[in-house]
Amino acid sequence: MKEWQKFILYVLVFLAAYFIPFNHSRVEISILEAFKMLGEYAREHVLFCLIPAFFIAGAIAIFVSQEAVLKYFGSKAKKWISYSVASVSGTVLAVCSCTVLPLFAGIYMRGAGIGPAIAFLYSGPAINVLAIILTARILGWEFGIARAIGAIIFSVVIGLIMSFIYGKENTNREEISLESGNFNDELRSGWQNLLYFANLVFILIFAAWAKPQNSEGFWYAIYKIHWPITIAFLLTLTYMLVKWFEKEELKQWVGSTWDFAQKILPLLFAGVLVAGFFMGRPETDAGIIPSTWISAFVGGNSIFANFIASLVGSLMYFATLTEVPILQGLLGSGMGKGPALALLLAGPALSLPNMLVIKSVIGTKKTLTYVFLVVLMSTFTGLVFGNIF
């Protein structure tokens, strides 16, 4: 950080400490809410979502060659392959906007093009099969279909636009040789590597399996046995690590995982605190900005209502599946169907903590462009949807 940036930061902290009315009940509640939100985030997402994601990102950085990433996700890769894989990744990974970040950072740092990487970043949390099914059952089939189609189209279109704008920078970045350890592929067969990564992904999926609202059906049956399944995959992973990997490989894997964790976790925690202070937890009205203010602006189907819904959705943090019951309540309070879809398309894929980490990976300019595109397309799609339904 440059000296003038430090000076501005010190001034802002001083002004905040001087002028914020900490004795005001709303401010006191909002500060407490920020730490409550951080506590919920730590309990529900760090151990069973983020840590498995960090290990996958570390494995990508160490065991996946740059050539392999460039072959499928680089600027010279066939677009129909790279964008097809990236845009439907969320059907496999039931992750939130924060859990996808280590995975995004992993493939981007290994040389993935900005377009496919952004498509993956958006689609990971947006195209969650369980969330789409829950959306259709609770909010209506039109919401479920619109959310699924919109998320896939968004990921591809936003990725292509980012690639068009920043393609030259991306090509120059790919030409830089990455020095992190790539071990000889002959140590393991292709099938062994595939099984190893699949095992890591399955651990992430089942460890983070959320409890469905409905205590019946297939998804709930999986939830009841998700821990035994997770333990089985952990035991399988242990066998793989003992039999297939060298000690030095494992050291580098752990080191790479720790590197991702120490870069991402502080930004996420800071972002969660700020989001909790301003917006409060999604199911409460304890943030400094009252939820009644938000609901008052998202009635009807005006451009303004859709834009506010998209903007608020992009700043709030939604844990996986929580956006559906929250929207159910907002719709009951008078929220328009267009703004509801706009929030569904912007909310799960973006959040304030998410933005801080994305900035650290791809820079301020690309992050602002990405956020702008998500909000813009969500606003437009919500407007069209609201006019149809």
**337-377 residue pLDDT tens:** 999 999 989 987 888 888 988 998 899 999 999 999 999 99
CB 208 within 8 A of CB 94: yes
Can you list the positions of beta strands (E) in the chain?
A: none
More confident residue, 109 or 96: 109
For the chain, how far is it from start to end, CA to CA, in angstroms? 50
Distance (Å, rounded) from C-alpha 356 to C-alpha 353? 5
Averaged pLDDT, 24-47: 86
181 phi/psi in degrees, rounded to 5: -60, 115
Please enumerate in sequence order all residues whose Cβ is within 8 A of that of 367, keeping only pairs 6 or more positions apart, or say none: 355, 358, 359
184 has pLDDT over 60: no
pLDDT at 232: 95
pLDDT tens column, 249-276:
899 999 989 988 888 888 888 888 887 8
Q: How many other β-carbons are positioned within 10 Å of the β-carbon of residue 53?
A: 31
Averaged pLDDT, 142-149: 90
Q: How many other β-carbons are positioned within 10 Å of the β-carbon of residue 213?
A: 13
335 phi/psi in degrees, rounded to 5: -70, 140
Q: In which band, very low, low, confident or very high, does the pLDDT at 288 lie, cut at 50, 70 and 90?
A: confident
Distance (Å, rounded) from C-alpha 37 to C-alpha 43? 10
Partnered with residue 299 across adjacent β-strands are 335
Distance (Å, rounded) from C-alpha 338 to C-alpha 147? 12
183 has pLDDT over 60: no
pLDDT at 181: 46
Lowest-confidence segment of 73-77, 149-153, 214-218 by average pLDDT: 73-77
Distance (Å, rounded) from C-alpha 356 to C-alpha 268? 7
DSSP one-letter code for 186 = G
Q: In which band, very low, low, confident or very high, does the pLDDT at 180 lie, cut at 50, 70 and 90?
A: very low
Closest C-alpha to 187, from 256, 235, 250, 234:
250
87 has pLDDT over 80: no
Averaged pLDDT, 58-78: 74
Distance (Å, rounded) from C-alpha 218 to C-alpha 189? 35
Distance (Å, rounded) from C-alpha 367 to C-alpha 53? 21
Q: What is the pTM of this model?
A: 0.75
Give the position of tokens 């062994």.
Answer: 192
182 phi/psi in degrees, rounded to 5: -105, 115
